[in-house]
Amino acid sequence: MSDSNDSNQNKIEEIITLIKGLEGQITNFSEVITKFGLDLITKLGQNKMSIKMLKDKVEKLTQPTIEIKGLLPQLNLIIESQKNLETEVELIKTLIQRSAGSAPSKEHVSDIIERDESVTDVKQSAQEQLNMLKERLDIVNDPLLIKNSLDNIKEFIFEKTGGHRILYEISQIVNKLNTVKSLTDPLKNEIKEKINFWINKL
């Protein structure tokens, strides 16, 4: 009977020892899980912070990109204006060179008279073209058509006269037409007033 009690007592002690061992393992496992969870939370927090920083950088880059794109049309206008300015400078050089020339001799009087008659013809032709353009403004809304007509008139005046002070003003209107998509009534009226002024100055 004593042996049986000792055997049972041993088994109980073994069970208790086993339970204690399991408790230790469970505690260790719990600590591992807790550490893993904390590490995971830390990593997620770091990733969230990195994503936010990246988002902030993208937002900071977006505005300069938009501003640069907005400057492109202005840059194109500056380049176009520079080209027109170079043309006008060449016109001024030509006028200066002609003004610096010597007075005509008596032998060339008849040639001067013929040139005067030619200038009159050019003036009348240019005035007719400008009047036709003024009438065309009443039925045309495409700025490109008016721009092309002004370019042709400008080229005609330059070729026939070698330069005229209204050419610069025509260039200014051409530049303005490059920036619009359609002809408004105020713009048409402005061009008509300019045409009347150019006709009187020819």
The answer to whether 190 and 129 have CB atoms below 8 angstroms apart is no
Can you give the chain as a three-state secondary structure string? Answer: CHHHHHHHHHHHHHHHHHHHHHHHHHHHHHHHHHHHHHHHHHHHHHHHHHHHHHHHHHHHHHHHHHHHHHHHHHHHHHHHHHHHHHHHHHHHHHHHHHHCCCCCCHHHHHHHHHHHHHHHHHHHHHHHHHHHHHHHCCCCCCHHHHHHHHHHHHHHHHHHHCCCCHHHHHHHHHHHHCCCCCCCHHHHHHHHHHHHHHHHHC
d(CA 40, CA 154): 75
What is the predicted pLDDT for the residue at 112?
42
Name the more confident of 201 and 30.
201
Q: What backbone phi and psi angles, to 5 degrees, belong to 164? A: -155, 150
Burial 87-102 (b: 16+ CB within 10 A, else e): eeeebeeeeeeeeeee
Average confidence score pLDDT of the chain = 76
What is the predicted pLDDT for the residue at 74?
67
What's the Cα-to-Cα distance from 154 to each of 53, 83, 122, 196, rounded to whole Å? 57, 15, 12, 15
Mean predicted confidence (pLDDT) in 64-73: 65
Any idea what the Cα angle at residue 50 is, between residues 45 and 54, rounded to 5°?
150
Task: Place 113 in a pLDDT band, splitting at 50, 70 and 90.
Answer: very low
Which of 66-70, 94-98, 188-192, 193-197 shows the lowest mean pLDDT across its residues?
A: 66-70
pLDDT digits (tens, 9 = 90+) for 122-168: 888 889 999 999 999 999 899 999 999 999 998 888 888 777 888 98
Is residue 105 predicted with pLDDT exceeding 60? no
d(CA 95, CA 120): 18
Question: How much is the pTM?
Answer: 0.44
What is the predicted pLDDT for the residue at 12?
73
What is the predicted pLDDT for the residue at 191?
93
- Residue in the structure block whose two tokens are 């938009």: 66
What is the predicted pLDDT for the residue at 161?
78
Q: What backbone phi and psi angles, to 5 degrees, belong to 104? A: -70, 145
Q: Which of 84, 94, 104 is nearest to 161 (CA)?
A: 94
